[in-house]
Structure 1
Amino acid sequence: MSAVLPSYCIAEAICEPTLADHAEADLRRMHEAAQEALKCQRVLKKVGLNLVGELLKGQGEFLEFNHFPDGDVYDRDTGSQYYYHAHRGSGEHGHFHVFHRPPEDNRPGELADPTHLVAISMDAWGEPIGLFTTNRWVTGETWRNAADTLALARAFELDHAWPSWPVNRWVSAMIVAFYPYLEVLIEHRDREIAVLEQSGIQDVHENRAFEVIGQLPISLPGWEKRLAARLK
Structure 2
Amino acid sequence: MTAGRLLRSCWLAMAEMGETPLSLLLQGEAGALPNRHYPSGDVYDVGHHTQFYCHIHRAGETGHIHLFQRARGMPAGLRPMHPSDEDNAPCHLVAVGLGPDGNAAALFTTNRWVTGEDWYAAPAVKAMLSGFGIQTGGRLAPVAAWLEALVAFYRPAIEHLIDRRDAAVAAWSLRHPAGDPLTDGNLEVTSRLAIDPAADLAAVGACPQ
TM tier relative to shorter chain: 0.7 to 0.9
| 1:225 paired residue number | 202
Q: Please tell me whether the aligned partners of residues 73 and 162 of structure 1 are also in contact (alpha carbons under 8 angstroms).
A: no
Matched, 1:169 2:169: no
| Distance in 2 of aligned mates of 1:155 and 1:58 | 32
Q: Structure 1 pair 197/37, CA: closer, same or farther in 2 (3 Å)?
A: same
Matched, 1:141 2:117: yes
Q: Give the deviation of 1:61 after TM superposition.
A: 7.5
Q: Structure 1 pair 63/50, CA: closer, same or farther in 2 (3 Å)?
A: same
Q: Structure 1 pair 219/62, CA: closer, same or farther in 2 (3 Å)?
A: closer
| 2:159 paired residue number | 183
Among 7, 10, 13, the alignment partner of 1:43 is 13
Q: Structure 1 pair 174/153, CA: closer, same or farther in 2 (3 Å)?
A: same
List aligned pairs for 1:61-100, cutoff 5 A. 62-87=32-57, 93-100=62-69
| 1:151 paired residue number | 127
Q: Secondary structure at the match of 1:203?
A: coil
Q: Give the deviation of 1:48 after TM superposition.
A: 2.0
Structure 1 stretches lacking a partner, 5+ long: 1-28
Q: Give the deviation of 1:145 after TM superposition.
A: 0.5
List aligned pairs for 1:15-34, cutoff 5 A. 32-34=2-4
Q: Give the deviation of 1:116 after TM superposition.
A: 0.5
| Distance in 1 of aligned mates of 2:58 and 2:64 | 9
| 1:6 paired residue number | none
Q: Structure 1 pair 140/163, CA: closer, same or farther in 2 (3 Å)?
A: farther
Higher relative contact order (CA 8 A, sep 6+): 1
| 2:84 paired residue number | none
| Distance in 2 of aligned mates of 1:154 and 1:39 | 21
Query: What is the Cα-based RMSD across aligned positions, in Å?
Result: 2.4
Q: Secondary structure at the match of 1:48?
A: coil
Q: Give the deviation of 1:228 after TM superposition.
A: 3.8
| Distance in 2 of aligned mates of 1:59 and 1:125 | 15
Among 23, 27, 31, the alignment partner of 1:53 is 23
Moved more, 184-193 or 152-161: 152-161
* CA deviation map 1:167-215 (0-9, x unaligned): 1100111111100111110000101111111331422111111111111
Q: Please tell me whether the aligned partners of residues 51 and 126 of structure 1 are also in contact (alpha carbons under 8 angstroms).
A: yes
| Distance in 1 of aligned mates of 2:186 and 2:178 | 11
Q: Please tell me whether the aligned partners of residues 69 and 163 of structure 1 are also in contact (alpha carbons under 8 angstroms).
A: no
| Distance in 1 of aligned mates of 2:58 and 2:157 | 21
Partner amino acid, structure 2, of 1:170: W
* CA deviation map 1:11-38 (0-9, x unaligned): xxxxxxxxxxxxxxxxxx7xx2222222
Q: Please tell me whether the aligned partners of residues 95 and 119 of structure 1 are also in contact (alpha carbons under 8 angstroms).
A: yes
Among 184, 199, 204, the alignment partner of 1:207 is 184
Q: Structure 1 pair 76/59, CA: closer, same or farther in 2 (3 Å)?
A: farther
Q: Structure 1 pair 207/221, CA: closer, same or farther in 2 (3 Å)?
A: same
Q: Please tell me whether the aligned partners of residues 40 and 166 of structure 1 are also in contact (alpha carbons under 8 angstroms).
A: yes
| 1:3 paired residue number | none
